[in-house]
Every structure is written in C-alpha cells, then in structure tokens.
Amino acid sequence: MLDMIPARASPDILAPQVFRAEGKARRRVALLAGCAQQALDGNINAATIRLLQRHGCEVVIADGAGCCGSLALHMGREDEARAAASRAIAAWTRALDHGLDAVIVNASGCGTTVKDYGHLFAHDPAVKENAARIASLARDIGEFMHAIGLRAPTAPQTYRVAYHDPCSMQHGQRVIEQPRALLRTAGFDVVDVPERHFCCGSAGTYNLLQPEMAQALGERKAAHILSTDPDIVATGNIGCMTQLSRYLGRPVVHTVELLDWATGGRRPPALEGIALRAPAAKPTVSAPDTPADSAGFW
C-alpha cells in the first residue's frame, strides 16, 4: 500500500457550490466530485469543470454527494455501498428541483456503479424510483462531451496519444469510441493499445488486495502501451492512471485534461517539465483490434 502512494499529489476537495457557465448557460449538470480522485489528483475535476463551463454548462457540486459507493461495492460490502449511494442519490435528487440535464462522472469505476443504481436499489421501495432516475441521467464525461460536441480546438495538439480503455469504461459502460473521437477532434494522433480489452491490474482495489496479480497485469499492459511509442498516455479512470504510472516512463493523464488543454485550458500538470516530441505532421488513425486479438477473452 505504501508503494501505491504517488510521488506527488494535487488534492482539491470541492465544497458544495455552483460553477457558472461561460456565456449563456445551455445545460445544467451535476458533477460527482468523488473521493479517492479528489485526494490524488484534483486537476481532473478542475479540467472537467473548465471544459463544461466552456461548453455552456452550469456545473453543480451537490451538497451531500460524497462517495458513490463504488469501492465498497467492489469488495462485496453492499450495506456500506448502499449507504453511500443513498446519500448521493438524495443529494442529486434535491438538485433536480432546479433541473439537471445529466450527472457527470469522470472516473469510470464510479460511473459504472452510478449507472447501476437502479439495479442496486431495485428492491428498496423507498429509494428505487429516485435511484433509477439518477442512473438514467449518469454520463461519463467523454460520453457527454461527444454528445454535445467539442468546440474547435484553440491550439490543436497533435502529440501521439496512446488511449487506454478502463475495464469499467469499455466492458461496464460500453463507452469505447467516444473518447477516441474527442481526442482526434482535439487534434491528437490517437493510437490503440494491443490487447486493449485486457485489465491493467487496478481493478478497483485489486492492486492493493492482490498485488502480485495486479503487478503482472500492470507490467503486461505497460509493455503493450510502450510498443506504440506514445508521447502521452490518456485514460478515463483514476485507478488506471495510478496503476499505469507505476510501470510507464511516459506521462499518464486523464482524457479530459487533454480536451481542456486543446480548447483553451491549462497544460496538464503531469506534462509540466516533460520534453514532448514535436507534434506529428498528420494524425493517423490506427485500426481496431482484430477479432483474433480478443478471441477467448470472454
């Protein structure tokens, strides 16, 4: 567990508040600020909020919406998970009084759980209606931005980016092409990772509770990522970011940080002091995995 502590962290614990949209507000969304992610890398939420504001969204940090219950649920501690989820559902339901177009989640492990609230509370008459309503509004930030459309980049960044699919994103939510499409729109040269369907070894709390297996998966994933020779590695889950950073000598950032940077935001902190290669002259699109690449996985 001590080995998992990052060399540096940029915590930014968000208090309940409303971030106003730039210009006319066209949408109102709630953002799950999260728990572990806020402690490990506050810039992910900051970049998310800036990106949403820039695209005409009012962003609500709802009072009482803390942990979504995901980590407890991963470990089979359902009572603890339901208690945390109930608090989040109640907070977002109160926010619905003023209207919400979506509940935005920028950690895919959390997003999979929030989208499953209807199932989690299917037999709880006191909560199930609101749980299903919140679940229907839940969107990964990449999924949401793809739906509303990314504005033209102000400073297109055509660095070579290896995109890593979190298991909870690709298998749990089936959000696969949207993040890639957004990064390409932002100007990045996006490459796929061989065996992209494989886990990196983070798996919620697996890299803490099953370190040997997690290390084997992490090293395997890192080797495949490095085979694409990327400048930057992008993904949509703080667990994957933390895990991959242990085995890669390349900067690992959240997808939303790159989208924020390309559309007028700050350079991701993980890239500060990193000498990137000159941008590629022309982005390339790699072919998806062949059926043989994923044969037998399921």
- Please report the pLDDT score of residue 274 as a whole number: 83
> Quick one: tokens of 35?
């728990």
Which pLDDT score, from 0 to 100, does residue 236 have?
Answer: 95
Residues 6+ apart with CB under 8 A from 140: 104, 105, 106, 108, 111, 169, 173, 175, 178, 236
What is the Cα gyration radius of the chain? Answer: 19
Cβ atoms of residues 26 and 56 within 8 Å: yes
The predicted model scores a pTM of 0.90
Q: Is 280 exposed, middle or buried (0-12, 13-18, 19+ CB in 10 A)?
A: middle
Task: Give me the percent of the chain exceeding a pLDDT of 90.
Answer: 69
Q: Is the pLDDT of residue 283 over 70?
A: no
Q: What is the pLDDT of residue 288?
A: 45
Per-residue pLDDT, averaged over 107-123, amounts to 94
pLDDT value for 296: 30
**Would you state the pLDDT for residue 207?**
83
Quick one: average pLDDT of 165-170? Answer: 90
- Would residue 255 be called left, alpha or beta, if left means φ above 0 and alpha means ψ between -120 and 50 degrees? alpha
Distance between CA 85 and CA 70 in Å, rounded?
Answer: 8
**Mean of the pLDDT values across residues 179-201?**
93
More confident residue, 275 or 292: 275
| Average pLDDT of the chain to the nearest whole number | 89
pLDDT in tens, 42-91: 899 999 999 999 999 999 999 999 999 998 998 899 999 999 999 999 99
pLDDT digits (tens, 9 = 90+) for 136-157: 999 999 999 999 999 989 877 7
- Give residue 292's pLDDT: 36
Which of the four pLDDT bands, split at 50, 70 and 90, describes residue 174? Answer: very high
- Please compute the mean of the pLDDT values over residues 196-225 and round it to a whole number: 89
